[in-house]
Amino acid sequence: MYEGAVQDLIDELGRLPGVGPKSAQRIAFHLLAANPADVRRLVDALTQVKEKVRFCRVCGNVAEAEECRICRDPRRDQASICVVEESKDVVAIEKTREFRGRYHVLGGAISPIEGIGPDDLRIRELLARLQDGAVTEVILATDPNLEGEATATYLARLLGPLRLRVTRLASGLPVGGDLEYADEVTLGRAFEGRRLLEA
Amino acid sequence: MTLVALYRDEGVVLRTQKLGEADRIVTVLTRGNGRVRAVAKGVRRTRSRFGARLEPATRVDLQLYEGRNLDIVTQAETLDAFGARLAGDYPAHTAGAAVLETAERLTAEEREPALRLYLLVVGGLRALADRRHPSRLVLDAFVLRAMASAGYQMALESCTRCGAPGPHGAVAVAVGGVVCPRCRPPGAATPAAETLGLLRALLGGDWPAAEATSERVRREGSGLVAVHLQWHLERRLRSLPLVEGG
Ligand SMILES: [Zn+2]
């Protein structure tokens, strides 16, 4: 245990995801030794994020205005919505430059064992966005794990009666990996999602 | 470094929790070692050699190192990917989650062998994955049998209190099942006779009789099973309200 302020900082850092007691101590002493201007920038960044950032009222992504940058962009395709679990998934998909539509951030995945059901996610908001018929394709891009798959199953069933193209991101072998190391579920999905090669 | 104990067992993954950047803690109900918690290093990386093998509801052959707090998974081979098969059927998936949570809650102590429960979990998940029976009935049958194996069998024939031979119409969950008119405490439930018949069929494995019941009877049966389970666990199951019929 350290005295007052240092221990408080270690305790606060230790509450962050992925930061254990040892890392918390290392970061605290790094900050203690850092130049005051650097620490000030970090403090400002933390304050700004809490003051300025909110959630887009359309898609639920992090935003600095009522609507996020993507929802405000008129060049984005209005006909397709890509459904993801978290804002960080939007960032990951944006990096691919493959998708020109808009997003819908659910705020997690259905997880009965954690007590998280459909009503705890932004599913009602998704349905509201599909009411006017402007959207013709919904891409389900929830995580390729059990909870993500079950969430996609739930959404596919819910969206079934609407006249929409509902697609799921393909699952398959990691690029750069070896086939022999793939687990059975991944390899099975890769078979299901195989595509025709043009000669 | 001293010698560490390496052991091998098969088990069903009950739950996973994120740990640090790329690891997970997996809670596994094993065949020989009861409920075990272990760290799977790097499992969240796309190129992890574990891949989907340590997802909930997967039956795996595991090799583990005994650790000071948590064991460490060194190898995992899939025996049955029940979870992946359930994920495409939402009602079955929610029933599967309730099977896993019930199993976790019924194993109060880690490393206490629970072979009977293990076999019931595997049987329940297999029945759900094979779509052998309506998923809610499979779940209720699992709960009744798992409770019985834990020493909380719901009395469905003779009076729980005095042993007077049945059939009896009243159920007092706090007492443990059906009660005769003389032993009946105030507030006991009086379900339909068919509902008690359904519960007997589920406990005894009489599937034709169980499947011949109406939706109303099944709903009442599920309600009684849920109350019986939560009474003995003294805490609500998080997954139970999210289970869909089907
Ligand atoms: Zn937006």
Find chain A residues with C-beta within 8 A of B235's C-beta: none
- B133 and B237 co-located in one domain: yes
Assigned domain for B1 exists: no
Q: Which among A112, A113, A185 has the least Cβ separation from residue B51? A: A185
Contact A150 B49 (CB under 8 A): no
Residues B45-95: tens digit of each pLDDT: 777 778 789 999 999 999 999 888 889 999 999 999 999 999 999 999 999
What ipTM was reported for this prediction? 0.87
Interface subset of B 10-49, CB within 8 angstroms of A: 15, 18, 20-21, 46-47, 49
Distance, CA B140 to ligand 1 centroid (Å)? 43
Rounded Cα–Cα distance for residues B7 and B62 (Å): 8
In a domain, B118, yes or no: yes
Query: Which of chain B's residues have a Cβ under 8 Å away from the Cβ of A185?
Result: 51-53, 55, 78, 81, 84
Structure confidence at residue A140 as a pLDDT band (50, 70, 90): very high
Neighbours of B203 (CB within 10 A): 20
Q: pLDDT for B41-55, tens place per residue?
A: 988 877 777 878 999
For residues B115 and B200, membership in a common domain is answered with: yes
Residue located via tokens 């070692």: B33
Mean pLDDT of chain A: 91
Question: The domain at A4-52 falls in which architecture?
Answer: Orthogonal Bundle (1.10)
Do both B45 and B134 map to the same domain?
A: no
**A98 pLDDT above the threshold of 80:** yes
CB neighbourhood size of B196 (10 A):
25
Establish whether the linkage from the previous residue to B167 is cis, with ω within 30° of 0: yes
CA distance A141 to A143: 6
At B83-137, the pLDDT tens digits run 999 999 999 999 999 999 999 999 989 999 999 999 999 999 999 999 999 999 9
In chain A, what is the straight-line distance between the N-terminal and C-terminal CA atoms, in Å?
68
Does residue B9 sit at the A interface (CB-CB below 8 Å)?
Answer: no
- How many CA atoms, within 13 angstroms, populate the side-chain half-sphere of residue A174? 16
pLDDT at B166 over 90: no
Pick the residue from chain A with its C-alpha nearest to B236: A115
The string of DSSP codes covering B47-109 is: T-SSGGGGSTT-EEEEEEE--SSSEEEEEEEEEE-HHHHHTTSHHHHHHHHHHHHHHHHH--S
Rounded distance, CA B90 to CA A198, Å? Answer: 36
Find the B134 Cα to ligand 1 centroid distance in Å.
40
Helix axes A21-33, A4-14, angle to 10 degrees: 130
Total domains present in chain B: 2
Q: Return the pLDDT at A53.
A: 85
Residue where a domain terminates, one of B33, B62, B83: B83
Residue type (1 letter), B101: E
Query: By the 8 A CB rule, do A154 and A137 touch?
Result: no
Task: Report whether pLDDT(A105) > 70.
Answer: yes
- Amino acid A198: pLDDT: 77
B78: alpha, beta or left, given left = phi > 0 and alpha = psi -120 to 50?
Answer: beta
- B-chain residues near A174 (CB < 8 A): 46-47
Going from N- to C-terminal start, the domains of chain A cover 4-52, 55-168
pLDDT at B129: 97
Q: Residue B206 carries which DSSP code?
A: -
Q: Which of B67, B179, B60, B82 is nearest to B131 (CA)?
A: B82
Position A128 scores a pLDDT of: 96
- Closest partner CB to A113 (pick from B46, B78, B239): B239
Task: Give the minimum alpha-carbon distance from A158 to chain B in angstroms, rounded to a whole number.
Answer: 11
pTM of the model: 0.87
Q: Give the architecture-level CATH label for domain A55-168.
A: 3-Layer(aba) Sandwich (3.40)
Any A CB within 8 A of B162 CB: no
Q: Are residues B166 and B55 in the same domain?
A: no
CA angle, residues B123, B23, B60, in degrees to nearest 5:
25
Q: What is the CATH number of the domain that holds B67?
A: 2.40.50.140
- Whether B239 and chain A come into contact, CB under 8 Å, resolves to yes
